[in-house]
Amino acid sequence: MSSAEEDRFARLVHEHSAAVANYLRRRLYPLTPSDLDDLVEETMVVVWRRLDRVPVDAELPWMLGVARNVLRNARRSKNRRSAFEATLHSPTSDSSAEEYVIGDVSVREALGSLSEDDREILLLNAWDGLDTRALGVYLVISTNAAAVRLSRAQARFRELLSAAEVH
Amino acid sequence: MSDADDRLAGLDPAAHRTYQHADLDAMITRIVAVPVGASSARWQRLQARFAGGLIAATLATALAFVATQGAPSLPALAIQRALTNPSPSFATAIPMKAAEDLHFSAGAAISTRAPSISSYKIDPPESAIAETARLAALFDVSGTPTAVGNGNWTVTGPSGAALNYSNVGVPQWYYSSTSPKVAPAEKSSSVPVPMPSHAALESTVQLFFSKLDYNYALSSPDFSTATTSTTTPAGAPLTVFSETASYSVVVDGIATGQTISFTVNPHNALVSANGPAFNVGSAVPYPLESPRAGVAALAAAEKHTFAAAAKVPVATASVTSNIVSLAPYRLKSGALWLLPLYVYSGSIPGAEGTASRTWSELAVEPTYVTGSSATFEGVSN
pTM for the model stands at 0.54
- Residue predicted with more confidence, A75 or B116: B116
pLDDT for the residue A76: 53
DSSP string, A104-122: -HHHHHHHHHS-HHHHHHH
pLDDT, tens digit, 9 for 90 and up, residues B169-190: 899 999 988 754 444 456 666 7
Which pLDDT does position B130 carry in this prediction? 94
Chain A residues with beta carbon closer than 8 angstroms to that of B341: none
pLDDT digits (tens, 9 = 90+) for B330-371: 887 888 999 999 988 888 887 667 777 788 888 988 878 764
Phi/psi of residue B60, nearest 5 degrees? -115, 115
Helices marked H in chain A: 3-27, 33-49, 59-75, 81-89, 97-101, 105-113, 116-126, 132-139, 143-166
> Strand pairing of B79-82 and B162-166?
unpaired
Q: Is B115 on the interface with A (CB under 8 A)?
A: no
- Compare CB distances from B91 to A104, A123, A161 and report the shortest one's residue: A123
**A45: closest chain B residue by CA:** B31
Residue B65's alpha-carbon distances to A22, A122, B369, B373, in angstroms, are: 48, 39, 10, 19
Quote the pLDDT of residue A93: 31
Q: State yes or no: pLDDT of B68 exceeds 90.
A: no
Confidence grade of residue A75 (pLDDT, cut at 50, 70, 90) = low
Number of Cβ pairs closer than 8 Å across A and B? 292
The C-alpha atoms of residue B344 and residue A83 are separated, in whole angstroms, by 13
Q: What gap in Å lies between CA B245 and CA B201, rounded to an integer?
A: 7
B208: nearest Cα among B163, B171, B178:
B163
Q: Quote the minimal CA–CA distance from A95 to chain B in Å.
A: 7
The verdict on B14 touching A (C-beta cutoff 8 Å) is: yes
Alpha carbon B286 to its chain's center: 24
Question: How would residue B380 be classed by pLDDT, with cut points 50, 70 and 90?
Answer: very low
Contact B11 A107 (CB under 8 A): yes
Candidate from A88, A116, A161 with C-beta closest to B85: A88
Nearest CA in chain A to B271: A94
Give A-chain residues touching B255 at CB under 8 angstroms: 81, 84-85, 88
> Could you give the percent of chain B with pLDDT greater than 70?
72
pLDDT grade, residue B34 (50/70/90)? low
Give the C-alpha separation, A94 to B174, whole Å: 11
Q: B20 versus A148: which is more confidently predicted?
A: A148
Instruction: Give A148→chain B minimum CA distance, Å.
Output: 17
d(CA B22, nearest CA chain A) in Å = 7
The conformation of residue A57, written as its DSSP 8-state character, comes to T
pLDDT in tens, A78-112: 333 333 333 333 333 333 222 333 356 777 778 87
Q: What is the per-residue pLDDT across B222-271, written as a single tens digit (0 to 9) for each?
A: 999 888 777 666 677 777 788 999 999 999 889 998 999 999 989 999 98
pLDDT at B63 over 50: no
Given a contact cutoff of 8 angstroms between Cβ atoms, the answer to whether B205 and B262 are in contact is yes
Beta strands in chain B (DSSP E): 65-66, 74-75, 79-82, 101-106, 119-123, 146-149, 152-156, 162-166, 172-176, 186-188, 217-218, 222-231, 237-251, 254-264, 270-276, 279-284, 314-331, 336-350, 353-362, 376-380
> Which of A23, A44, A79 shows the shortest C-beta gap to B345?
A79
For residue A7, the chain B residue with the least C-alpha distance is B28
For the ranges B93-102, B224-233, B288-297, the one whose mean pLDDT is highest: B288-297
- Give residue-wise pLDDT tens across range A102-148: 356 777 778 878 888 888 899 899 888 999 999 988 888 888 999 99
- Taking CB atoms and an 8 Å limit, are A127 and B96 in contact across chains? no
Summarised one tens digit per residue, pLDDT across range A27-52 is 775 567 777 888 899 899 889 888 88
First to last CA, chain A: 59
Report the alpha-carbon distance of residue B324 to residue B346 in Å, rounded: 15
The CB-side HSE value for B24 (13 A sphere, CA atoms) comes to: 15
Q: Residues of B with CB below 8 A from A106's CB? A: 7, 149-150
Neighbours of B320 (CB within 10 A): 17
- State the nearest Cα–Cα gap between A56 and chain B, in angstroms: 19
Handedness of CA A107, A111, A114, A119 (dihedral sign): positive
pLDDT band of A74, cuts 50, 70, 90: low
The Cα–Cα gap between B275 and B245 comes to: 12
The C-alpha atoms of residue A68 and residue B58 are separated, in whole angstroms, by: 21
* B187-B258-B59-B64 Cα dihedral, nearest 10 degrees: -160
Determine the residue among A23, A44, A75 to mutate to test chain B binding: the one whose Cβ has the most chain B Cβ atoms within 10 Å: A75
H or E stretch covering B202: helix B198-212
Closest-approach residue (CA) in chain A for B168:
A109
Contacts of B52 in chain A (CB under 8 A): 75-79, 83-84, 87
Mean pLDDT of all residues belonging to chain B: 75
Candidates B5, B19, B20, B190, partner chain A, best to mutate (most A CBs within 10 A): B19
Q: What is the ipTM of this complex?
A: 0.79
Q: Would the CB atoms of A36 and B42 count as touching at under 8 Å?
A: no
Residue B177 contacts A, CB cutoff 8 Å: no
User: What is the C-alpha to C-alpha distance for residues B138 and B136, in angstroms, rounded to an integer?
Assistant: 5
Q: Any idea what the Cα angle at residue B286 is, between residues B281 and B288, rounded to 5°? A: 130
Q: How far apart are CA B172 and CA B168, in angstroms?
A: 8
Distance from CA of B70 to the nearest CA of A (A): 32
